[in-house]
Each structure stands twice: as structure tokens, then as C-alpha cells.
Structure 1
Amino acid sequence: MSLELLGMIGGLALLDMLSPATLGVTVYLLLSEKERIGSRLMIYLGTVAGFYFSAGFVLMLGLDALLSAFSSILENRFISWTMMVIGAALFTASFFYPKGKKRTDLPRPKSKSKASMVALGFTTFLIEVGMAFPYFAAVGLMTTRNLPVYQWLPILGGYNFMMILPPLVLFVLHVLLGRFMQRPLERLRIKLSNTGSALSWIMCIVGLILMLNSVDNL
């Protein structure tokens, strides 16, 4: 496993740290909830990370088995061309994605129970997984490099931890600074409720990474 691969996966994880839905729910909970905020937030973040990890785990096993079963037909060149086409499509589409601000309704808990936090985490996963370009790109990179399980499993776990690290940092700052975090959280809530050019930048960067990673095997 090369440092170049770790660097690319780390860069993709940094993009996924900017998840507007997960951050938005965290900010909402910190601003509106006063009781048991720590346990409820940990249940929520654990649910989001757990579902993402499970999806990545299944994809790694499924893609690896698929490549092994059809390696004589597909080989690496087919996968490389597929990654090149997907990367080029994402890169091109990023320039046409609307960059104006659009108000977005972020998911919110329906009640204060622990079950509602699990349901909220699952809802967040469903909302974001379809647009999780960096995550799918990272899984694709690890699959095409044929990493053994003992290498890609901790990488996948670390990736998912990085995804929920910003909400954890916000929670720690909220605990340490108390009311001094009120105004920064309010400003962050307003920014997170508007979607603009962030997705187009993610599409552009992921597209470039996929194209650069596949060009050597064409």
C-alpha cells in the first residue's frame, strides 16, 4: 500500500467531512437540546457511521468478489476505463451544476427518544449515500489496488471516523465553551441550510482523482 493511495483516500475523506446533513443535524441538536445531548448525539453519529461503514464493507467484498470472478474478462484495463469515464463525467458535470444558493430542509428528530436518533441517523445516511461521490471513489481506489482485508478494513474505519469528526469537534467545543458557541453555531446553521457550489467542487475534485488514478493502467 503506497503513500500516494493513502493520500488520495485521505483527501477524499476530507471532502466527506463537509457533510451538510450530518453537520446540520449536529448543530440543530446543540442549539435546541439541553438534556442528554451527549448520549443522543453519539447514538446519531454512531448510526450514520455504522451504516456508511456497513455499505463500504459490503461494496469492498462485493467489488472484490466480482473482480476475482471476472478477472480474466474485465482485468484492470476495463476497470481503469470505467473509472476514467466516471471521472470525466463527474468533472464535466461539475461545471454545469447550479451554483446558486438553494434553501435546504435538513433532517430533524421527531422525538427525544434514542430510537428517534437511530431513525434520524438512518435517514441522514439515505439522504447522503446517493451523493457520496468521495466515499464511492475511495472504495473504488482500494478495490482496484487489490488491498487485502487487513489493510482496507482499518482504512475504511478511519475514513468513517473522519466523516463524523467535525460534529464531534463541535460537540467538544460546545461542552467546553458553553454559551460562547451559541452565535457561531447559529451562523453555521444558516450556512448549512443553503447549498451552493460545494457539491460542484466535490464532483470536480473526485472526477480529477479518478481520472489521474486510472490513466496509468489504460
Structure 2
Amino acid sequence: MSAELLLGVGGLALLDMLSPTALGVTVYLLLTEKERLGSRLIVYLITVAAFYFLAGIAVRLGMDVVMKVFSSILKNRILSWFMLITGVLLFTASFYYPKNTKSDVPRPKSKSAAAMIALGFTTSLIEVGTAFPYFAAIGLMSASNLAVCQWLPILAGYNFIMLLPPLILFILHLLFGRVMQQPLEKMRVKLMSYSGSAVSWMMSIFGLILIFYSLDYL
């Protein structure tokens, strides 16, 4: 296991921290929940982490087959050119994607633990399709031919890093209480106003990945 691999996966995990959904739900709960805040928030975050972790395991186990198919596709020059053009278009479009689009964060319909689990599952199911940094990190681990005992802890660490911002906010809320009210309000407004920024980043990264993997076969 090389330091370059760990740095690459760690960098992608840091990028995945930009995802606004889990952070937005956390801010909403911190602002609105007065009773059993900790247990409800932890249930939600554990659900999100478990979903991504299991999805990551499933993708990693099937990655060998996918990589073989992907490699054979890349050897076709026409398809490689198509991927290159698609990557360039995605990368270019990322600069023009509306970054000021307002969108409210998902909210639980009730305050029960089951509602938190349902919310975590729903938001994860919606976002996992656009989790390009996550899939890129799994691709790096697959290309490095790591054993299960090696890539499984890395995958768990990735999910932990990805959910660090909500955890840090929760700890700060516990430590400073009402002092955090105003910063959380400002953060909620920014998350609603600039939710398009995360999508823009994902588009640019996925575009670069397509460009990078198509160049060798042109």
C-alpha cells in the first residue's frame, strides 16, 4: 500500500466533504431539535455511513469485472474519442452550472428513529449516483490490487472523513450551545443558496477522469 494511494484516496474523501446533503440535514436538526438531538443525529449519520460503506463494498467487489469491460471498451478508438469529448463537455459545463440555485435540504417527516433511518437511506440513495469521488477512490483501490484486509479499512476511513463536517458541527454545538445559533443560520442559508457548487465540482472531476482514461487509447 503506497503513500500515493492513501493521499489520492484521502484527497477524494476531502472533496466528498463538499456534499451539502448530510451537512444540510445536520444543520437543520441542530437548529430545530431540542430533545434527543444527539441520538437522532447519530442514527441519521450512521445510516448514511452504513449505506455508503455497503455500496462501496458492492462496487469494489464488482470492480474487477467492470474494469475488464471498461478496458476493452477503451481500446475502441471511436469510443475513446466519445469519452474524451464527453469529459471535455462535462468539465466545461461545470463552470457554467448554476451555483446559486436554491434548494431546501430534505427534512424528516417525524422525529422517530425510524424517520431518521428513512431520511438517511433516502438521501444516500439519491446522492450515491453522483458520488464520483467515491467511485474514483474505489477505482484507485481496485487498480492497486489491495487485499480485502487493506481496502476495507481505507473504505471505512473514507466514509468517516466524508462525514467529519456534520460530526464537527455537532461537537461544536455541544460545546458552545446558543453561541452556534447564528453561525448555523448563516450556514443553512449558504447551503440552500449554493447547493449547485458541489454538483459543479463533481461534474468537473468526472470530466477529468473521463479525459484521463481516454487519452492512452486515442
Task: Give me the TM-score of the superposition, normalised by structure 2.
Answer: 0.85
Deviations 1:165-214 (A, max 9, x none): 10000000000000000000000011111224332133324543665577
Query: Which runs of structure 2 are paired with 1:1-218 in the superposition (5 Å)?
Result: 1-67=1-67, 70=68, 74=71, 78=75, 85=84, 87-88=87-88, 90-99=90-99, 101-194=100-193, 195-208=195-208, 211-212=211-212
Unaligned regions of 5+ residues in structure 2, if any? Answer: none
Distance apart, 1:122 and its partner CA: 0.6
How many pairs does the alignment contain?
212
**Aligned partners of 2:27 and 2:188 also within 8 Å:** yes
**Aligned partners of 1:107 and 1:123 also within 8 Å:** no
Give the whole-Å Cα distance in 1 for the aligned partners of 2:164 and 2:103: 23
**Aligned partners of 1:64 and 1:146 also within 8 Å:** no
Give the whole-Å Cα distance in 2 for the aligned partners of 1:174 and 1:58: 35
Distance apart, 1:216 and its partner CA: 7.2
Match of 2:110, SS state, is: coil
Match of 1:102, SS state, is: coil
Give the whole-Å Cα distance in 1 for the aligned partners of 2:21 and 2:97: 19
Distance apart, 1:150 and its partner CA: 1.7
Distance apart, 1:141 and its partner CA: 1.9
Give the whole-Å Cα distance in 2 for the aligned partners of 1:45 and 1:94: 29
Distance apart, 1:131 and its partner CA: 1.5
Question: RMSD across aligned C-alpha pairs, in angstroms?
Answer: 2.7
Unaligned regions of 5+ residues in structure 1, if any? Answer: none
